[in-house]
Every structure is written in C-alpha cells, then in structure tokens.
C-alpha cells in the first residue's frame, strides 16, 4: 500500500451573500469564511480545479472565483539570499548614533 500525496489548491470564491456557503461544500472543503468581506476559501484536488471553477462561476450568488497562486511560487528563498537578492549590509536599518 503506497501513500501518494495529491497536489491540492485552494479557490477563493467571492460572493454576493453568505447565505449560500453550504452549497459550496459539495465542491470541496471550506477552509475559511469571511462574513465581513463575503468570500470563502475552498480547498480541493488540483485536478478538480478547472471544472469546479467553471461550475462555481455559473452560480448566481458568486461574484468571481480566483485560484490560489501559492503552489506556483517557489518557496526556496535560501538560494535567492545567496545570490544577492537580500544583502544584509544594505537593509536600510538606521545606525545607532547618539
């Protein structure tokens, strides 16, 4: 029995009203709800994202759907520090002069 990690992605669904949040649970796991800003973060398998985005956009209570770009961003910042992306000598920190 092999354990394989499935690639996952989140969708940010902006809504007109938060009354229909329960209807979005059939598309994936509801990770977060913001009642003040009227959006929901859904978490689902990467393979389901294009089909689910199209189906969610067709719902009349949805304003827009955006995929999360976090899986696309390279999270290895150590290489960038070594190449001079961040130079601790030129951070702009004020000197302690009294």
In order of their start, the domains of the chain are: 8-73 (3.30.70.920)
CA 32 vs CA 13, 37, 57, 60, 73: distances in Å: 11, 12, 19, 21, 21
**What number of other Cβ atoms are within 10 A of residue 34's Cβ?**
13
Q: Which two tokens stand for residue 31?
A: 């990770």
d(CA 56, CA 50) in angstroms, rounded, equals 10
pLDDT in tens, the chain (98 residues): 889 988 999 999 999 999 999 999 999 999 999 999 999 999 999 999 999 999 999 999 999 999 998 888 877 767 666 666 556 665 555 655 55
For the entire predicted model, the pTM comes to: 0.72
């Amino acid at each position: 029995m092999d354990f394989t990690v499935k690639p996952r992605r989140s969708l940010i669904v902006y809504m007109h009203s938060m009354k229909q949040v329960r209807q979005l649970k059939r598309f994936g796991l509801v990770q977060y709800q913001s009642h003040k800003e009227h959006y929901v973060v859904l978490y689902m398998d990467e393979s389901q994202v294009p089909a689910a985005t199209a189906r969610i956009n067709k719902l009349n209570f949805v304003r827009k759907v955006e995929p999360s770009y976090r899986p696309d961003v390279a999270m290895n910042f150590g290489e960038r520090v070594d190449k001079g992306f961040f130079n601790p000598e030129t951070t702009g920190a004020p000197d302690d002069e009294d």
